[in-house]
Each structure stands twice: as structure tokens, then as C-alpha cells.
Amino acid sequence: MEKSSVTSPSLLRLGGIAGIIAGLCILTYFIVSQSLGFMFTPEVLTGGSIDPWIERINENSQLARLLSVLPIIGFSSILVIGSSLFLQINNSSWQKYLAIIGYLIGVPVVVVTFVSHLSLVNQLITLSSQGIEINDQIRIFTAFKMHHFMIINFAIGPIFIIILGNTFIAWSALKHNVLPNWLCYWAFFNGSLILIGIFSVFFPVLQFAQIGGPLTMLWFITTGFTLLKRSGKSTIRS
């Protein structure tokens, strides 16, 4: 017989709130940063200058600092909703263990990367405010850090958090009726887009698939509201 999993209202509420926070924080960061040119600097991948990005950061210094905090909160919250879903699924599900491994690897890597990015942004702004010249050595270091930042965001983070974490937690939730079927299939669709989008670095024609990132954040928000809706009941699955 399968081991049963008891879901408490507080666990559902915690997971629901975490999902909404995760989606809203990361979506806000993505939309605002993309519109202001804070987020990515594709030119460094082809040896272009990092100066335009540094200038954009300095022109909106306070906003640049504030925005860099949002993904740290958002991705940390993903681990909370992932753990909440994990605890709601029967222990016999091997898929949920692969999912939690994905979250436990991917979330810390991404959070540390964004903390490092926040430190970089803050230091560049501080240097500029003190009238210190951004020399070639600083430019090279910044370009290196941005390249690392983009690799984590384009590949490493999505592979572990979305493809391994979300896809397998959705597969497990589908098997054990923890989430509505349509929500699970939506996670599969997002994971497929992310897998295609990773290759857009080599094949620009595939850039359309990068919409999988924002769609995944909408998935977290929707899943969060779904868990909150169910938080008034205690569910036992066996």
C-alpha cells in the first residue's frame, strides 16, 4: 500500500502565498528590467561593449538596486511552493523526488547568482557616484560576470527549476490528483518551451520559446491561488 500524505491548511496557505510571491516578484523584475535594459546584455556574448549596460544602470541607480532584490525573494519562494507540493504527494511517487532535487539544486544556484549580481550592480553604482573611472579591467570583469549571469539564467536555472523541478512535480501531481489536470499540462508545455529556448543561444530562430520563462511565472501565480483556494480543507491521500 502507498504511504499516505496529509495536507494541512497551513501548508497549503504557505505554498499558495509563496507561489504568488514567486511569480509576481520574478515577473516584475523581468518586465521592468527588460524595458529599461537592466536585465541581459547579449552583446557580451559576441564580444560587444559592456559600457551601454553600465550607463543604463547608473542612470537609474536606485531602481536598479531595488529590482535586483526581487528575483532573490522570488526564487527563494519557489523552493517553498516546491516543498509544499512535494509534501502533498504520496511518498511512493519517484517523480516528486526528482523534482525536489531539481529545486534544491537550481534555487540555491540562481539565488546566489542574483546575490552576486546585486553586489556587482551596487559596486558599479558606488564607483560611479564616487567619481571613480570605470577602466578596462573593471569592464572585463563586469563582462565576465554578466556572461556568467546569463548562462545561469538561460540554461542552468531553467534546467533544474523548470524542466526538472516543475515538470516532474506536475507529473507527480497529475498522477496523484494534487493539482488540476490543466495546470499540470500547462507545466509540461512550459517545460517544453524552456527546453527549446535553451538552444536559442545557438539558433536565434528559437528565441520565441523563451516566452516559457514568463509563462512559468504565471503558472506559479495560478498554482498559488489554487492552493489558497484549497487551504480551507485538510486533504489525505493514500
pLDDT greater than 80 at residue 6: no
Helix 51-59 / helix 94-129 crossing angle, nearest 10 deg: 80
| More confident of the two residues 96 and 37 | 96
How far apart CA 221 and CA 160 sit, in angstroms, is 19
The answer, yes or no, to whether residue 93 has pLDDT greater than 70, is: yes
Which residues, 6+ apart, have CB-to-CB distance to 55 below 8 Å? none
Distance CA 136, CA 210 (A): 32
Reply yes or no on whether the pLDDT at 49 is more than 60.
Answer: yes
> What was the pLDDT predicted at 238?
35
pLDDT digits (tens, 9 = 90+) for 160-215: 999 999 999 999 999 999 999 999 999 999 999 999 988 876 777 888 888 999 99
Q: Is residue 212 packed enough to be buried (19+ CB in 10 Å), middle (13-18) or exposed (0-12)?
A: buried
Mean pLDDT for all residues in the chain? 88
Residues 189 and 218: beta-carbon distance below 8 Å? no
CB under 8 Å to 196, separation ≥6 — which residues? 206, 209, 212
pLDDT of residue 167: 96
Q: What local confidence, expressed as pLDDT, does residue 1 receive?
A: 36
**Mean pLDDT calculated for residue range 78-107:** 94
Here the contacts of 99-103 (C-beta below 8 Å, separation 24 or greater) are 99/164, 99/165, 99/166, 99/167, 99/168, 99/169, 99/172, 100/165, 100/169, 101/164, 102/160, 102/161, 102/163, 102/164, 102/165, 102/166, 102/168, 103/78, 103/79, 103/160, 103/161, 103/165
In this structure, what DSSP letter does residue 233 have? S
Question: Rounded distance, CA 122 to CA 64, Å?
Answer: 8
Other residues' Cβ atoms within 10 Å of the Cβ of residue 224: 24
Give the pLDDT of residue 227.
94
Q: For the chain, what are the domain ranges?
A: 8-232
Q: Are 38 and 57 in contact (CB under 8 A)?
A: yes
C-alpha–C-alpha distance, residues 2 and 147, integer Å: 46
Residue, of 136 and 114, whose pLDDT is higher: 114
Cβ neighbours, 10 Å, residue 3: 10
What confidence score (pLDDT) does residue 2 get? 45
Q: Which amino acid is at 220?
A: F
What does the alpha-carbon distance between residue 120 and residue 99 come to, in Å, rounded to a whole number? 31
pLDDT at 39: 79
How far apart CA 231 and CA 229 sit, in angstroms, is 6
Quick: pLDDT tens for 219-237.
Answer: 999 999 999 998 866 544 4
* Cell triple for 39: 536585465
Distance in angstroms between the alpha carbons of the first and the last residue of the chain: 8
pLDDT in tens, 119-166: 999 999 999 888 888 888 888 899 889 888 988 988 899 999 999 999
